[in-house]
Chain A
Amino acid sequence: MATDVCEKFLRLTGFEETEMPEYVPEFYRASEKLGLSEHDIRYATEEWIPAHFDIKLEGVRKLLGCLIRETVDLTKANEYKQKGVKIVFGIMPAILHFYYALKLTAPEEVYVSFPDMFLTVVMNGLFRKLNPYLEEAEQSGISYGCRHCALNKTRYAARRLGIIPSPDVSWIWGFVCDEGPKTDEFIQLYHDTEWKTYITRIPHDQPLGTVEDEVTERVQYLATQMKDGFAFLQKQIGIKVPDEKITEVIRIRQRYVKKLGELNRLMASDPQPLNGLVGALFHEPLSMPFNLGIEPMEKALDTTINEAKQRVASKKGVLPKGAPKLMVHVMPTALPWISKMFEENGVGLTFSEVSVPTKKQLMPPNYKDPYMAAAETWLRRSSTINAGYKAQLICEKLERYGIDGMVFGFFDFDRWLGSDHKLLARMVEEKTKLPVFYIEGDIWEDRDYSPEALRTRIETISEIVKMRRV
């Protein structure tokens, strides 16, 4: 692979010239492990990324750079393990406090990651090259036809392909789906007996509309689950984390969430200053732990906020003034063409529901105990809770940011996160009277639906939203 191809790519993704001598060889090695060819990198540099990301903005380039750094770091996990660093994996959605607290306590002794998510967002989002991973899994026990989750397939494939090692602990959270944790059991029984797992679950048994973060018994149950899980994890890897570290993570997280809130407020400006994808990508450190820390992302976020402010002040945006804004349940960050296609039709896919905090989410927790606080924080989010409460949160967000409509879907593979969308669509539409849509699809991979197949649907939705606004 020509060196200049790597350099151009790294330059595009916000790396400094001074970093090139050290980083080009690292990126080269990582590309080989990940299965990226010179053609793939050239395509990403010259066509895909410029077409889908607002690379005029320094903050966006730095953001992409953070994702690349983490992915390169991921490809070194085998080496870390050989050097005795403890490997801790997990799956999303999970409470990240504990992963970050581990890093705060023993930064050099532990490696944390949700490998499937990084690989999916980077390999498909930036390179359009996730398919070999999916096919590897499908040829080896996780069938294509059953609509399994691309994340689970990718995690399994990454292990099969030797990109990642067996973890010392994969702390898997079945708070949401069943398939995620069971995939770890599958990997262990079918492929890798060294794949060690700890499972944390909570039954979805709350009646529709229950405000779950206010049910003390439920918060307590979740807190105990977390405490037990974290105790197991610490014992397994031999690292003791003081409670203050968790409290510190909560403080850092709150600071980051506040900044995301500021970005969201800016996104609500007219004209919309940035592509909706950007806001969603900045949410990633709250969805998966960054082994290299949240700080680089925070710096990129600060830069982006400043750039967004400048655009708002000069009344510049990615869409014309008056263009409608939609909220999507989860922004398809691995498929940036989807938000782009909405924009091409004059509508912003501006907000990702999971990235937009409610008023309550911005408030500090009611509990001093770090586990109770983490549990309460988690139950304030829409991912785990019952559909009735979730619909209430969505309605609040739609109202708060003056959003013109909601798009559900792109989660047809997910028997939890996607399985209530049709019901949610009804509940939200009944309450808000806003236009609400459902699109069957997959936010991680698009082998089953091409841009052309979705174009008509998106054009129609865009027309309806624009007409409703007139």
Chain B
Amino acid sequence: MDIMEDLVKIARTRPEELKRQKEKNTKVIGYTGRFVPEELIYACGAVPYLICRGGEPDPPEAVLPYMLRFMSPFARSQVGYYLLGMDPVIPMLDLIVAQCDDCHMVRLADLFEYFHLPTVRIGVPPDWEKTLSVEYYYRGLTQLRERLELLTNTKVSNEKLGKSIDLINTIRDLLRNISLLRKNDPPPIGGYDFIRLNHSSFYCDLDKFAERLTSIYEQLKERERPFTEDAPRILLAGHVVSVGDYVVPKLIEDSGGVIVAEFLDEGMRQFSWNVETEGDLIKNLVQTYYLERIPPSIFQPGWHKRHEFMKKIIEDFRIDGVIWYQLSFEEIYDMESSIVSKSMDEMNIPFLKLESSYEYAREAMGPLTTRIESFIKSIK
């Protein structure tokens, strides 16, 4: 679809646009992770930039003089791109809001600070069911709002915050509607395209993006199905498919499968939960971002709830097989994969665990392709 390629192109050329915005004195705020509400950034008139690239082998390697080898290649990449001069946006950011929820992301924040990039941290307690933790995150968001107000010299009024919440709710609604089209058999859009579309939502002007999403949704409803009737319906689960890390989703669909749902903690706009626009808006953000969404793997207790949710997706989207995509040395996801594997065995759902260090050289691609092809064939 041309309109989708347009969006991807807009997202790709985001750095130039951000540079133009900077020249007009608009502040550009980088952020990591899913617990930094973009709503706050928009509400103070700044532009957000999600730091979430991956899929290339050099950036995680570049950070090794400063960081342990056995850390997530995803976290390592974010600094790696900066060190290699491959990220034109990070050096021009007015502020980086670093989510501190697990060790990997905290070390990322350390390095941003070490390299004198303007950084503020937001603590996300993983023991999320405690009132103390909820209050901690609430306080963190309140302090972030104050920090952003100071930086942009703009008061974040309830009205402004409400408007930005509305806008992002609209984007969520549209993405959700598009995703739900994948309940059809065969679906009009696969995971490879949907993930890229979802990623684009972080790097486009949201008003225009909403219009385009509406148009995409209408086109998809009428679209000739690009997948065969017997294409196995795949749930792609795990930590993150970062921006640029599309090898695995593409291979799955090139091998004859179709990704009809994702269960990923990071890198995707979480579109299943909207933020309420009445009352204490910071509290509403906390409610949605911290309490209502399915907890990320690091939250504790979390796995039981996550797996119940996975089972629901499997049922709702009539999943034929689950591909668990984790990155090397992500210790929490690695343990969770064992539990998911056991659970899938019990449900008689085929399960494939893939691990990547963003090393997609020819030597690595051969075995990876074979594994995915074999898995898809085995469930076809």
Contact = CB atoms under 8 A, between A and B. Distances in A.
Same complex: yes
A200 interface: yes
B209 interface: no
Interface residues of A, number: 48
Contacts of B122: 205
A207 B147 CA distance: 15
Nearest to A417: B103
Contacts of A426: 66
Interface string A397-427: 0000000000000001101101111110010
Interface stretch (B169-177, B297-305, B315-323): B297-305
Nearest to B135: A221
A386 B109 CA distance: 11
Nearest to B298: A178
A204 B103 contact: yes
Contacts of B231: none
Contacts of B301: 185, 199
Interface in B274-333: 298, 300-304, 328-332
A205 B303 contact: no
A148 interface: yes
B69 A412 contact: yes
Interface string B209-248: 0000000000000000000000000000000000000000
Contact of A142 (B302, B303, B335, B355): B335
Per DSSP, chain A at the interface is loop
Nearest to B111: A423
A162 B67 CA distance: 38
A178 B65 CA distance: 23
Given A174-B300, A181-B300, A413-B70, A420 B107 contact: yes
A357 to B, nearest CB: 25
B62 interface: no
A419 B107 contact: yes
B186 interface: no
Contacts of B338: 141-143, 186, 190
B123 interface: yes
Contact of B332 (A182, A202, A388, A423): A182
Nearest to B337: A143
B70 to A, nearest CB: 5
A203 B136 contact: yes
B339 A186 contact: yes
Contact of A224 (B111, B132, B140): B132
Contact of B126 (A145, A146, A149, A201): A201
A207 B121 contact: yes
Interface in A99-145: 141-143, 145
B196 interface: no
A421 B121 CA distance: 21
A121 to B, nearest CB: 22
Nearest to B126: A201
A142 to B, nearest CB: 6
Q: Give the interface centre of B121, B124, B328 by most chain A CB atoms within 10 Å.
A: B121
Contact of A412 (B65, B70, B302, B342): B70
B335 A141 contact: yes
B102 interface: yes
Of B100, B109, B301, most buried by chain A (CB within 10 Å of CB) is B301
A208 to B, nearest CB: 5
B100 A205 contact: yes
A147 B123 CA distance: 26
B100 A423 contact: no
A159 to B, nearest CB: 15
> Chain B, interface size: which category?
35 or more
A61 B331 CA distance: 38
B107 A178 contact: no
B290 to A, nearest CB: 12
A26 B69 CA distance: 44
B140 to A, nearest CB: 8
Contacts of A363: none
Contact of A182 (B140, B304, B335): B335
Contacts of A189: 303-304, 339
A413 B329 CA distance: 9
Interface in B91-114: 100-104, 106-107, 109-111, 113-114
A386 B339 CA distance: 32
Interface in A150-194: 174, 177-179, 181-183, 185-186, 189-190
B333 to A, nearest CB: 9
A121 B161 CA distance: 54
Given A204-B100, A387-B110, A415 B339 contact: no
A437 B330 CA distance: 26
A178 B125 contact: no
Contacts of A387: 110
A426 B119 CA distance: 20
A225 interface: yes
A234 interface: no
B138 to A, nearest CB: 13
A415 B300 contact: no
A158 B243 CA distance: 42
A228 interface: yes
Contact of B331 (A148, A202, A205, A423): A148
Contacts of B109: 205
A190 to B, nearest CB: 6
A361 interface: no
A371 to B, nearest CB: 13
B217 to A, nearest CB: 38
B296 to A, nearest CB: 11
Contact of A148 (B103, B114, B334): B334
A182 B302 CA distance: 9
A449 to B, nearest CB: 13
Contacts of B69: 412, 440
Contacts of A206: 121
B110 A420 contact: yes
Contacts of B101: 203
Contacts of B136: 203, 221
Contacts of A204: 100, 103, 106, 123
B65 A422 contact: yes
Nearest to B341: A141
Contacts of A416: 103, 106
Interface in B336-361: 338-339, 342, 355
B126 A174 contact: yes
Contacts of A177: 103
B127 interface: yes
A147 B102 contact: no
A423 B113 contact: no
Contacts of B119: 207
B125 A203 contact: yes
B331 A179 contact: yes
28 contacts: A147-B329, A148-B331, A178-B102, A178-B332, A181-B126, A182-B335, A185-B301, A185-B303, A190-B338, A190-B339, A199-B126, A201-B300, A202-B125, A203-B125, A205-B122, A208-B113, A224-B132, A228-B132, A386-B110, A388-B113, A416-B103, A419-B107, A421-B68, A422-B65, A422-B68, A423-B111, A423-B114, A440-B69
Given A179-B335, A440-B69, 7 more contacts: A148-B334, A182-B300, A185-B303, A208-B113, A221-B132, A415-B103, A423-B111
- 6 A-B pairs with the lowest CB-CB distances in the bound complex, closest first: A203-B123, A205-B123, A141-B338, A415-B103, A146-B334, A205-B100
